[in-house]
Amino acid sequence: MEPELAPVVRMLGLERDGETYRGRVDDLAVVAVRTDIGMANAAAASKRVLDLGVDHVMVVGIAGGLHPDIAIGDVFTPEVVVHRAEGREHRPSFAGDLTPFGTLSCGDDLIVDPEVLAAMGDGGIVAVDMETAAVAAVCDDAGCAWSVFRAISDRPAEGLIDAALFAMTKPDGTADHDAVSRYLAEDPARLEALTRLAEDTNRATEAAAAAALRACRLL
């Protein structure tokens, strides 16, 4: 998403080249692209990246946290990534300075039921997102190494993100400002939750980008 891409471009010193961003981290050539929300968009973006001839793909961004020991803004790299709808599991190629931990569950469905989320956490799922398993599948099928740096931006069980709020998010991750204005007009008290979510998301995207930069320097 655009909010996830921006700190990566800034921290890695990348320059725009059409729909991609390019630069170097020490002796490593780096190219970055935006992955829009959803599994199909993530798969398409991954194929575009592989067509550029990269030899290691990094998924950098945010996730909803389920594990109590991982705080908002913490970055983790999973041991296993699973596609919820298909049941297919993927194991990242580890890079960087993080210790792999738990399972990242991925799918297009927005899960908000507290009982379902609790059961997922009890089953070893650390966090959820909507893209990583699709990237993993494309990379695994192509024989390309890949790794994950996801920072926790929210806790789904808290209910800050619901179907109404998700519907106001554009595919690139930015907000539909007209829709948000109508949403707040209906209940101005929602502003506090939206402000908190924005602040937590910003902290998480910055942390994920910093982890990716460290990993680039260690490759």
Question: Residue 169's domain is classified under what CATH number?
Answer: 3.40.50.1580
Question: What does the pLDDT look like over 18-59, one tens digit per residue?
Answer: 989 999 999 999 999 999 999 999 999 999 999 999 999 999
What confidence score (pLDDT) does residue 190 get? 83
User: How many whole angstroms separate alpha carbon 69 and alpha carbon 55?
Assistant: 33
User: How many whole angstroms separate alpha carbon 135 and alpha carbon 202?
Assistant: 23
- pLDDT above 90 (res 188): no
Q: Are 54 and 144 in contact (CB under 8 A)?
A: yes
Q: Are 94 and 138 in contact (CB under 8 A)?
A: no
Question: What does the pLDDT look like over 59-109, one tens digit per residue?
Answer: 999 999 999 989 999 999 999 999 999 999 999 999 999 999 999 999 999
CA distances for 44 relative to 38, 49, 84, 135, 162, angstroms: 10, 9, 19, 9, 26
Q: What's the domain range around 47?
A: 2-218
The structural domain count of the chain equals: 1
pTM metric for this prediction = 0.93
CA distances for 50 relative to 35, 129, 211, angstroms: 13, 22, 22
Find the radius of gyration of the CA atoms of the chain.
17
Higher-confidence position of 119 and 158: 119
Q: Are 37 and 130 in contact (CB under 8 A)?
A: yes
